[in-house]
Amino acid sequence: MSFAITAAEIPAIPIAGSDARFPVHRIYCIGRNYAEHAKEMGASVERSQPMFFMKPADAIVTDDADVPYPSATQDLHHEVEMIVALARGGRDIAREHALDCVFGYGVGLDLTRRDLQAAAKAKGHPWDAAKGFDASAPVSMLRRVEDVGHPRTGRLSLDVNGERRQQADISEMIFDVAAIIHELSRLWTLAPGDLIFTGTPAGVAMLQRNDRVHARLDGIVELDARIV
- Beta-carbon contacts of residue 67 (< 8 Å; ≥ 6 apart): 61, 109, 111, 135, 138, 225, 226, 227, 228
Mean pLDDT of 25-36: 94
Res. 39: pLDDT tops 90: no
The CATH T-level fold of domain 19-226 is Fumarylacetoacetate hydrolase; domain 2 (3.90.850)
Res. 22: pLDDT tops 90: yes
Distances (CA, A) of 88 to 79, 104, 139, 192: 27, 11, 20, 5
pLDDT of res. 38:
72
Res. 35: pLDDT tops 90: no
Res. 175: pLDDT tops 90: yes
Mean pLDDT of 109-125: 96
Q: Where are the domains of the chain?
A: 19-226
Mean pLDDT of 11-30: 98
Res. 40: pLDDT tops 90: no
Neighbours of 186 (CB within 10 A): 9
Q: Can you give the pTM of this predicted structure?
A: 0.97
pLDDT of res. 41:
78
Determine the Cα–Cα distance for residues 42 and 217; give it in Å rounded to an integer.
26
Determine the Cα–Cα distance for residues 29 and 6; give it in Å rounded to an integer.
29
Determine the Cα–Cα distance for residues 57 and 59; give it in Å rounded to an integer.
5
- Beta-carbon contacts of residue 103 (< 8 Å; ≥ 6 apart): 22, 85, 86, 87, 142, 144, 145, 192
SS (H, E, C) 54-80: EECHHHEECCCCCECCCCCCCCEECCE
Mean pLDDT of 44-72: 93
pLDDT of res. 14:
98
- Lowest mean pLDDT of 45-49, 119-123, 219-223, name the range: 45-49
Mean pLDDT of 51-58: 97
pLDDT of res. 42:
76
Mean pLDDT of 25-54: 87
